[in-house]
Structure 1
Amino acid sequence: MEPNEILKRNGIKITQGRVEILNILTNSENSLSAEKIYHIYRNNNININLSTVYRTLELFEEKGLTEKITLNDGVFSYKLKKETHRHHLQCDICHKEVEIPCPMLQIQEMVQNSTGFTLTDHDLVMKGVCKDCKKKL
C-alpha cells in the first residue's frame, strides 16, 4: 500500500515529511530512533527539524501505525506495526489458554540493535496456574 493511502486511511494529514518518515520505516528491517531517522534525512540532504520527526513518530504511534520500544539505553525506537505476534498462557490444571501480546518484542529489538543479528523467529513457553484454579488450591 502506498504511503499516501496509509496516511489517508489512518486520518493523518499528508505531508512530504510524514510520507518520507513512513518510507524510511517501511524500508528498515529494524526499529529506528528519531535521531537515526533525522540523520537519514540529513545524509540525503533533506532539510527537516528533529522536532518534526519526533512529533510525526508520536502521531504515528497514537494512530496505531508504529510501536514505540524502549531500548536498554532509555532511547525510544519506532517500528511499523505488522500483524501482532501473540503467545498463549496455559493453566497446568484446567488447561485453559489465555492469549497475550508478545512480551519479547522489546527484547528482540534490543538484541538486534546491540548485536546487528537479525532475528527470524523465537519461541516462548510460559506455564502456570490460572486464577480460578489458584482459588481452588
Structure 2
Amino acid sequence: MEPKEILKNKGIKITKGRTEILSILKNSENSLSAEKIYQIYKSNNININLSTVYRTLELFEEKEIIEKITLNDGVFSYKLKGKTHRHHLECDICHKEVEIPCPMLQIQELVQNATGFTLTDHDLVMKGVCKDCKKKQ
C-alpha cells in the first residue's frame, strides 16, 4: 500500500513530511531511529525539524502504522507494522493453549543491528503449566 493510502485509511492528514517518513520506513530493510530518518532527509537536502520527525513517529505509533522497538542502548527504533505471527503456549498437564504475540521482535532488531544479519525465521519453544493446573498441584 502506498504511503498516501496508509495515511488516508488511518484518518491522518496527508503532508509531504508524513508521506516521506512512511516512504523511508517502507524502503528500509531494517528499523530506523528518528535520528537516522532525520539524517536521510538531510542527505536528500530536504528541510525538516527533528522534532517533526519525532512527532510524526509518535502519531504513526498511536495510529498503529509503525512499531516502536527499544534497542539495548535505550534508543528507539521504528519499523512499519507488517504481518505479525503469534506463538502458542501449551500447558504440559491439561494441554490448554494460549495465543501470545511474538516476543521476538526486539531480539530480532538487536541481532540485526549487532550483526548485520537479516533474520528470515525463528523458532521459539516455551513450556509450562497453566495457572489452573498450578493451583491444583
Same topology, TM > 0.5: yes
The corresponding residue for 2:47 is 47
Whichever residue aligns with residue 44 of structure 1, its letter is N
**Hey, what's the Cα distance between the residues in 2 that align with 1:99 and 1:87?**
6
Q: Are 2:6 and 1:3 aligned?
A: no
Q: Secondary structure at the match of 2:122?
A: coil
**How big is the shift at 1:7?**
0.1
The corresponding residue for 2:26 is 26
**Hey, what's the Cα distance between the residues in 2 that align with 1:113 and 1:55?**
24
Q: Are 2:81 and 1:61 aligned?
A: no
Aligned length: 137
**How big is the shift at 1:77?**
0.3
Q: Deviations over 1:37-69 (max 9, x none)?
A: 000011111111000000000000000000000
**Hey, what's the Cα distance between the residues in 1 that align with 2:105 and 2:85?**
9
Consecutive unaligned residues in structure 1, runs of 5 or more: none
Q: Which runs of 4+ in 1 moved over 2 A?
A: none
Whichever residue aligns with residue 45 of structure 1, its letter is N
**How big is the shift at 1:5?**
1.0
Q: Secondary structure at the match of 1:119?
A: coil
The corresponding residue for 1:106 is 106
Q: Secondary structure at the match of 2:64?
A: coil
Q: Deviations over 1:110-136 (max 9, x none)?
A: 110111111001000001000111111
The corresponding residue for 1:83 is 83
The corresponding residue for 2:132 is 132
Q: Deviations over 1:90-117 (max 9, x none)?
A: 1000111100001110011011011111
Q: Secondary structure at the match of 2:127?
A: strand
The TM-score normalised by the length of structure 2 is 0.98
The corresponding residue for 1:122 is 122
The TM-score normalised by the length of structure 1 is 0.98
Whichever residue aligns with residue 45 of structure 2, its letter is N
